[in-house]
Structure 1
């Protein structure tokens, strides 16, 4: 993978997110549960907010 100083290719990011949205949301919830068990509520809220944002975007490049 080549570094691009302009930032990530938004279209490619959206495609990957759309193709793998279910597993990504599941993994983020597992992280949130782990953070709650470790008494790290702020971190759990962060992971859930990130998952919510991805779910609302539906994996579209324009919305992420």
Structure 2
């Protein structure tokens, strides 16, 4: 599920998978960051360039 905040500055995407796991990805449009949050509240902050590089290296069709 993808959802933008009321001002359109952050897009949140829930990546719900098996066994109720629902990490989220927040794309911050006003800055150069993408934040991934796991179910336990752990966070990883990437630059948008790091995010693009990670996506390019992942084979999503596997």
TM-score range, shorter chain: under 0.3
Q: Which has the larger radius of gyration?
A: 1
Q: Which has the higher strand share?
A: 2
Q: Which has the higher contact order (CA 8 A, sep 6+)?
A: 1
Q: Which has the higher helix share?
A: 1
User: Structure 2-normalised TM-score?
Assistant: 0.26
